[in-house]
């Protein structure tokens, strides 16, 4: 009788420990969640409409995909294209659009810039308010068809043409940025 009670007690304890362990694993997110799990978790916790990562660009083909699919285009090396680029639309969340960012640099885990890159194209047109070029050089002319366009630690090796006076007046150029050509309304 004692043996049966001992075996029964051990089986009960093993069952309880196993059930608690499985429940704990389901409730505890992994240390390194996949993008899908991260998106689901963030959507449930923060009511996020969309979660996206930067599109990492290494050549003209990946640039074309990034232009269409991501609000952050992050170069991983110098890229040259022989056609005009248009950047419009951004990440939409709760009816608010996050502007386009063209990141022409790389950074380490401490967010310290480790490299700058050059994107070369005949022309780039920006259509989303608040769009920006950051951290490197764009070679070609830039057409600003939006307000609050920004250059952040970046160079435009070419001209900048604004759609109107409001676009020109709202243009933001930080102390480490420059435009080598003219800036005018066209």
Q: Which domain holds residue 158?
A: 55-185
**Residues 181, 106 within the same domain:** yes
Q: How many domains does the chain have?
A: 2
Kindly state the DSSP code that residue 30 receives in the 8-state scheme: P
**Residues 88, 109 within the same domain:** yes
Whether the Cβ atoms of residue 85 and residue 57 lie closer than 8 Å to each other: no
**Residues 22, 69 within the same domain:** no
Averaged pLDDT, 25-36: 34
Averaged pLDDT, 133-146: 98
**Residues 6, 74 within the same domain:** no
**Residues 93, 155 within the same domain:** yes
**Residues 111, 132 within the same domain:** yes
Highest mean pLDDT among 10-24, 53-67, 113-127: 113-127
Lowest mean pLDDT among 22-26, 56-60, 85-89, 124-128: 22-26
Kindly state the DSSP code that residue 33 receives in the 8-state scheme: -
Q: Is the pLDDT of residue 29 over 60?
A: no
**Residues 41, 60 within the same domain:** no
Q: Is the pLDDT of residue 15 over 80?
A: no
Mean pLDDT score of the chain: 78
**Residues 164, 74 within the same domain:** yes
pLDDT score recorded for residue 41: 37
What are the tens digits of pLDDT across the range 113-129? 999 999 999 999 999 99
Q: Is the pLDDT of residue 30 over 70?
A: no
**Residues 124, 40 within the same domain:** no
Q: Is the pLDDT of residue 151 over 60?
A: yes
Tell me the percentage of the chain whose pLDDT exceeds 90.
55
**Residues 32, 107 within the same domain:** no
pLDDT score recorded for residue 53: 66
Bridging pattern class, strands 101-103 and 96-98: unpaired
**Residues 88, 137 within the same domain:** yes
Dist CA 113 CA 126 (whole Å): 24
pLDDT score recorded for residue 125: 97
What are the tens digits of pLDDT across the range 33-57? 323 333 333 333 343 344 456 788 9
**Residues 28, 69 within the same domain:** no
């Amino acid at each position: 009788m004692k043996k049966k009670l001992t075996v029964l007690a051990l089986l009960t304890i093993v069952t309880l420990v196993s059930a608690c362990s499985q429940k704990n694993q389901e409730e505890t997110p992994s240390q390194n969640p996949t993008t899908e799990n991260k998106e689901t978790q963030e959507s449930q916790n923060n009511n996020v409409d969309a979660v996206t990562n930067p599109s990492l660009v290494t050549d003209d083909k990946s640039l074309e995909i990034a232009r269409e699919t991501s609000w952050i285009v992050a170069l991983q090396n110098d890229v040259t294209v022989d056609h005009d680029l248009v950047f419009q639309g951004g990440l939409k969340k709760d009816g608010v659009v996050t502007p386009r960012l063209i990141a022409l640099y790389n950074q380490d885990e401490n967010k310290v810039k480790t490299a700058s890159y050059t994107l070369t194209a005949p022309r780039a047109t920006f259509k989303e308010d608040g769009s920006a070029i950051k951290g490197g050089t764009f070679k070609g002319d830039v057409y600003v068809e939006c307000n609050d366009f920004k250059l952040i630690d970046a160079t435009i090796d070419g001209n900048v043409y604004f759609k109107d006076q409001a676009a020109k007046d709202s243009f933001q150029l930080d102390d480490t940025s420059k435009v080598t050509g003219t800036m005018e309304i066209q």
